[in-house]
Amino acid sequence: MSNLDDYGGGQRPSDSVLVVTTNDVPGYRVDQVIGEVFGLTVRSRHVGSQIGASLKSLVGGELKGLTKTLVESRNQAMERLVEQAKSRGANAILMMRFDVSEAADLGTEICAYGTAAVISQTG
């Protein structure tokens, strides 16, 4: 059995910044919009994993090594996103998204981005 964190990610309960993919948070109001924040990481391709992935693609199935690398990269980008928001005084990130693209044929760029805001509970 594999470790759940190897193939999934997301926010930790101890994080002081709430990250959501929605425009608003039920039970909270937006007191201040600080603006766009992002966390970025670029991962180079490992030749060995590329060869292994090519061979695996011939027979089909999940590319577990690449999946784990992508999860690690997304989590790192999200951690950087949260740090950017905290440094600007935010306690929430609204409309969080990921963007993945090629970086000059040398690797993969993963960007987590969203809107930093200050929110408070209503009533």
pLDDT tens string 68-109? 888 888 999 999 999 999 999 999 999 999 998 887 777 888
Per residue in 18-39, pLDDT (tens digit) is 999 999 999 999 999 999 999 9
Please say if the pLDDT value at position 47 is more than 70: no
**In CATH, which superfamily holds the domain spanning 4-121?**
Hypothetical protein apc22750. Chain B (3.30.110.70)
The reported pTM is: 0.78
Q: Identify the residue with better confidence: 51 or 105.
A: 105
Q: List C-alpha distances in Å: 73 to 8, 27, 89.
A: 11, 32, 25
Among 42-46, 50-54, 63-67, 75-79, the minimum mean pLDDT is found in 50-54
- Cα dihedral 84, 87, 89, 90 in deg (nearest 10): 20
Please say if the pLDDT value at position 63 is more than 50: yes
Instruction: Give the residue extent of every domain in the chain.
Output: 4-121
Outline where DSSP puts E strands in 1-123.
18-19, 28-44, 92-103, 107-121
